[in-house]
Chains A and B, each alone.
Chain A
Amino acid sequence: MFKGALNIEPTKILLVEDDPNDVELVQLAFSQHNFLNQMDVAVDGEQALVYLLGRDNEPPINPLPRLVLLDLKLPKVNGIRVLETLRHHPRTQKLVIVVMTSSQEDSDLNACYDLGVNSYIVKPLDFQQFIDVARQVGFYWMLFNKPPLLPS
């Protein structure tokens, strides 16, 4: 069931995270649940936007992922801007985006929800908690949540 669930199209997760340690930790957490082969990584905001929206009128190469895990503190284009751009683009307007960040700032929280983020998760310091959260997020959004109808 778990495996079959992963085949459901689209099965991909896009992780937008500049810190390789965090990428590794997320991968570590997901690896225990076979999410790893469905995950692409963008290391800055710009990469994320190119991945999802394409570059200079060129359509994006990749199909849209099932889930975007978005860090806020990103080089080039920060997470809030990325979220804003995606939400204003018809292609990504209804894309499932979960912000996963170290920031507990009210301003960030409010800004993200105002921009229609699907979920906001503060990365727990404790590794075990982090693993749990990652797993829960993966399960929830990848398996239980019925995604919106996205334009092809």
Chain B
Amino acid sequence: MDESTSDCQKGLTGEGNHYFSRSPAVDIPLAYTLIGLLWVGLSAWLLSIWLPDRALTNWHHSASGAGLVLLSAWFIHYSLKQTKPRLQPLSSSSDGADAIANLTAQLKELKETQHRYQIISELTSDYTYSARISATGELSVEWINAPFGEISGYALEEIREPESWMQLIHPDDLACFAPRSRQLLSGQVSVNEFRIVTKQGEVRWLHDVAKPEWDAAAQRVVRIYGATRDVTDRKAAEASLRRSEEFRRLAMDVTHTGSWDWHLATDDEIIWDTNHFLLLGLEPDDKPAYSRWRSHVHPEDVDRVEKAVFEALKNNADFKAEYRVLHPDGSLHWLIGKGRGIYNEAGEPVRMVGVLFDITDRKQAEENLKRLNEELEQRVAGRTRELHQVNQRLEAEIRERQQTEVALRQSEELFRQIFESAPVGMALASAQDYQFTMVNPAFCEMLGYSQAELMTSSCPSISYPDDLLAEQSFAKKLLTREIPSYQFVKRYIRKNGQIMWGSLTTRSVCNQEGEILYVLGIVDDITHIKQVEDALAQRTVELESIINNMPDYIFVVERESMRLTLCNDMFACGLEYRDRAEVQGKTIFDCFPPEDAHYFLQQNQQVFESERPLHLQETLTLPDGEHHFETFKIPLRRSDGEVYALLGISRDYTELIETQRALSARTAQLEASNRELDSFSYSVSHDLRAPLRHIGGFVNALATRLEQNNCLNDPKINHYLQVIQTSSAKMGLLIDGLLTLSRVGRRQMAQLQVDLNAVVQLVLTQWTETNGSPSDCRNVEFEVGQLPIVSGDVTLLQQVFANLIENAVKFSRGRQPARIEIGLLSDNETIFVRDNGVGFSMEYADQLFGAFQRLHPQSEFEGTGIGLAIVQRIIHRHGGMIWAESQPDRGATFYFNLSGKSNLPGHTEY
């Protein structure tokens, strides 16, 4: 009530001042002005009555109407008060003569005017009144117009007593009367709105304009004039408007709607309401600006929104845009802006007004909805897919089942066929007691039982007892499903009691519930394999034993890793390991010093790359000293021919080398001895021969001399000379024989192809030349067989045949004829020279070939006993053998060959 009152006072006071300030400038005749104004006011007031439902229009017109009413009231008062002063100038300005004449007319006119104004005042105001103010300030109504009584129900008399009018005033509005009195008493016009309560109890709003009147001395306000208008309807309209505005505000608050009004050409000539600030996350202040709004719009949306604004303005269309704003606290909000351009007469946009909503919730809801939709779609799609898959699976399963059924039937048939015709033994045994329920022919055959016999027996009954325990652990696991199958090599007992080695593969057979009903066994007779394996194992042991006991170093080196995969103990010991187990698995780099390892690596690589055996002699320093090896490295190939390793065999011939050295030393010694012997022989040949020759020569010279001096008549002298000559000759023969023997031993031998036929022929020719006409007329028959061609020294071989033939002739002396046979035995290498002479006892055979050994007295057979020694030496120098067989008086046979083999058992070589 207070607020509305003060609002009214403020607005009305302003308007009033406005009018007052303008009035002195009016220079047109006052009457016309008044009339014009009255007309305007009247028409406006009438209009407000006619169009009470149009609030906005009503408001404007009521305002202007109120102004006009006030103006009218003031004018009445002013004109009444100023009648005299205004008349004065008129009369003074008129001609003096006419002034008095016109006075009466003027009074009359004045009365008419008064009357006119009363009517007008009654028309323009609801009530008009005047009240007198006593010296004590009490206010008494002295006059009030008639309509007041009609409306209030009070007669003037009822309110004429001082302050009695106060009873009409609405108790809530009494408060405004004290300030009103102060205003009026200070000479100011007071405009108030207040309510009265009619006699009928009706509350009516009155708009009251009161004007004080000073006394003549202008000391005190003695009277007020008032014009009161019943503004009940306006108040109602105002209240309605206010309610509407509040409703709008409320609606905008509730809906978070902000509003704006923007003068397009400017930045800060813009109006935002509180909500507008809040929607931008700002505290309401008085600094709205377009740029400020723009700075809060999400950078991604700014251009789009501005574009929408300009498009709307250009096309004279409504603007609408959804965009994001960033609050100072960093939060993001979705807004929707709507606006409409306001255009000037030229059709150019000048302003734009609009509203702003927060649609974050909606957006979020939309987002959520969208997400939910998507999720839903996905789930639906997923579900559809699942269903589709399930469907396909089901279909596939059905198909599979159908196929399975067919396959099962086929498989059953197949199984039976396989079972019956399998080349391996197959048996189905009960899982409970291992009684056979099915056995195939192969199983029966391998065990020697009939099918009927096996069907009444169980698996353990045909198994070798020692193997049962081991198999039981597997069988148990099979039945408890720890394992689905097992393989086991075991022995079976055939019907005939023989052991059969079998490789057994089992598998449990279940029913549909997964219960194990049977055990299927597949048995392969591996007795033969087992035997081979055993033999192989035995052979391996033997071979290992051989390898291990070989005096050679034996080892196998793998190609890729240079690892010693196999070696013997000899090898390990050579490297000062305890046994081969310590070496096997090591690489050559582990076993040898780096230099040696590198050396072996090169060797090995050569073997691996060339894929050819390597044979070399090498000297290595082992922990116990220097060793000489003859090494073979032989590539080992896989069945596909790839060389994967090498076999190394190293023979330590260090001892041999030492022996050879010793032998060489011995040989050197022997050679030295031989040289000594040569020298000795030479000495003998020269030094012994010389004195012998001298003896012979000088005995001869003596004999000649004695003969010349006739001193040979003495037979004794002759005899002595003869003995000396004979002995010296014999000694010469002995020395020559000995020298020949020595020369044969030392002679440089030629190794040429020699045709023994030619050799024998030559020897016989020489013999015939020498002994062609023997004095004793001996008859000697030679029989020469086909002789071989041999490799040897032709001179020495001639000597052999010459000596043997000479011997044969000599010892067959006296035989008629002497038969000498020369030939070749059936072995094609043993040559013999046989005679039919005196022979010899085998008892003395060992003396035959000794130098100067004789088996016959000199008196019977001449000779030095050196001939056969020479023959033997020549044969030996050819690498051959010579031996003889004979019996006394049954002839003798000399055998020899050049190969060094005795092919005639029982005959000792001499």
Stretch binding the partner chain, chosen from B411-419, B574-582, B650-658, B689-697: B689-697
Binds A, one of B86-94, B298-306, B422-430, B698-706: B698-706
Number of B positions contacting A (CB below 8 A): 23
Question: A123 and B743 in contact (CB under 8 A), knowing A28-B701, A103-B686, A105-B685?
Answer: no
Instruction: Contact check, A73 vs B697: say whether CB atoms are below 8 A apart.
Output: no
Task: Report chain B residues within 8 Å CB of A25.
Answer: 693-694, 697-698, 701
Task: Decide if A127 touches B682 in the complex (CB within 8 Å).
Answer: no
Q: Are A127 and B696 CB-contacts (below 8 A) given A19-B690, A28-B701?
A: yes
With A19-B690, A102-B689, A105-B743 given, is the CB distance from A125 to B682 under 8 Å? no
- Judged by a CB distance under 8 angstroms, whether A106 is at the interface is yes
B-contacting residues, A123-143, CB 8 Å: 123-128, 130
Any chain A CB within 8 A of the CB of B745?
A: no
Check A103 against B697 for contact (C-beta < 8 Å).
Answer: no
Tell me the minimal C-beta distance from A71 to chain B in angstroms. Answer: 9
CB distance from A24 to the nearest CB of B (A): 8
In the complex, whether A40 has a CB less than 8 A from a CB of chain B is no
**In the complex, A143 Cα to B578 Cα: how many Å?**
91
Within 8 A of B (CB), among A86-124: 101-106, 123-124
CB-based contact A125/B743 at 8 Å: no
- Are B685 and A103 in contact, CB atoms less than 8 angstroms apart? yes
Interface centre among A21, A25, A127 (most CB of B within 10 A): A127
**Are B747 and A125 in contact, CB atoms less than 8 angstroms apart?**
no
Nearest neighbor of B683 in chain A, beta-carbon distance: A73
Does more than half of chain B's interface fall in helix, strand or loop, or is it mixed? helix
User: Can you name the residue of chain A whose Cβ is closest to the Cβ of B693?
Assistant: A125
For the complex, give the distance between the alpha carbons of A28 and B691 in Å: 16
When the two chains form their complex, are residues B743 and A106 in contact, meaning their CB atoms are under 8 A apart? yes
CB atoms of B699 and A127 under 8 A apart: yes
In the assembled complex, the Cα of A64 lies from the Cα of B686 at a distance in Å of: 29
Q: Digitize B727-741: 1 where CB-to-A-CB distance is under 8 Å, 0 elsewhere.
A: 011001000100100
Would A125 and B692 count as touching, CB distance under 8 A?
yes
Would A21 and B682 count as touching, CB distance under 8 A? no
CA distance A126 to B691 in the complex (A): 12
Question: How distant is B407 from chain A, measured CB to nearest CB, in Å?
Answer: 104
Known A-B contacts A22-B690, A102-B690, A105-B743; the reply to A125 vs B696 at CB < 8 A is yes
**For window 50-109 of chain A, which residues contact chain B by CB distance below 8 Å?**
73, 101-106
* Other-chain residue from A73, A102, A103 in contact with B693 (beta carbon distance below 8 A): A102
User: B138 → chain A, closest Cβ, in Å?
Assistant: 197
Alpha-carbon gap, A94 to B174, bound state (A): 195
Which residues of chain A are near B732, meaning CB under 8 Å?
A: 125-126
A128 to chain B, nearest CB (A): 7
**Do the beta carbons of B697 and A104 come within 8 Å of each other?**
no
Nearest-CB distance from A125 to chain B (Å)? 4
**Residues in chain B near residue A127, CB distance under 8 A:** 693, 696-701
| A130–B697 touching, CB < 8 Å | yes
Known: A102-B689, A127-B700. A21 touches B694 (CB 8 A): yes
Residues in B lying within 8 Å of A, measured CB to CB: 682, 685-686, 689-694, 696-701, 728-729, 732, 736, 739, 743, 747-748
Q: Can you sample 16 A-B contacts with CB below 8 Å? A: A21-B690, A21-B698, A22-B693, A25-B694, A25-B697, A25-B701, A105-B682, A123-B689, A123-B693, A125-B689, A125-B693, A125-B732, A125-B736, A126-B696, A126-B729, A127-B697
